[in-house]
């Protein structure tokens, strides 16, 4: 199995609980996909155009370490590409860095399963059949 890591960038400094919530969301997503992340890196209070990102640098360092196992390319889970950057130049640079490290990326769905709308009983809504109705 490939090595799996997560990365989140928070543009404004957030309290620790917000950063932990993002970390937990990545871990929960990995669990639903049958993946086991080794680490989730969080750059807190880093604008999307910043070139210096301590946790990003740490992620790239770890991706560059050969663990001696040929398990396939490492996988980096992102909530969305915006967590890398919304600036096209910075985004292209970061994607190139991941490519050079031999990593593949995957983004999480916009609405995780635990955030779907539920009724008052806690059950997911049942899809209604919109076929033709018969009259008796």
Residue 135 lies in a domain: no
The per-residue pLDDT for 1 is 64
Residue 128 lies in a domain: no
| Domain that residue 74 falls in | 4-115
Q: Check pLDDT > 50 for residue 76.
A: yes
Q: Check pLDDT > 60 for residue 20.
A: yes
Percent of the chain with pLDDT over 70: 76
Residue 136 lies in a domain: no
The per-residue pLDDT for 30 is 93
| Domains of the chain: total | 1
Residue 132 lies in a domain: no
> The CATH number of the domain where 108 resides is what?
3.40.50.1390
Q: pLDDT tens across 86-104, in order?
A: 999 999 999 999 999 999 9
Q: Check pLDDT > 90 for residue 2.
A: no
Phi, psi torsion values for 10, nearest 5 degrees: -105, 120
Q: How far apart are CA 21 and CA 93, in angstroms?
A: 27
């Amino acid at each position: 199995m490939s090595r799996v890591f997560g990365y989140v960038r928070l543009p404004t400094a957030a309290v620790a609980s917000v950063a932990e919530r993002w970390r937990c969301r990545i871990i929960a997503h990995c669990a639903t996909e049958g993946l086991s992340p080794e680490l989730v890196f969080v750059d807190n209070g880093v604008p999307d155009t910043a070139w210096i990102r301590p946790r990003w640098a740490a992620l790239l360092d770890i991706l560059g370490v050969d663990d001696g196992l040929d398990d396939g390319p490492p996988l980096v889970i992102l909530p969305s590409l915006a967590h890398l950057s919304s600036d096209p130049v910075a985004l292209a640079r970061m994607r190139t860095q991941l490519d050079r490290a031999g990593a593949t990326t995957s983004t999480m769905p916009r609405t995780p399963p635990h955030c779907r709308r539920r009724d008052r009983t806690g059950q997911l809504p049942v899809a209604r059949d919109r076929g033709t109705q018969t009259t008796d």
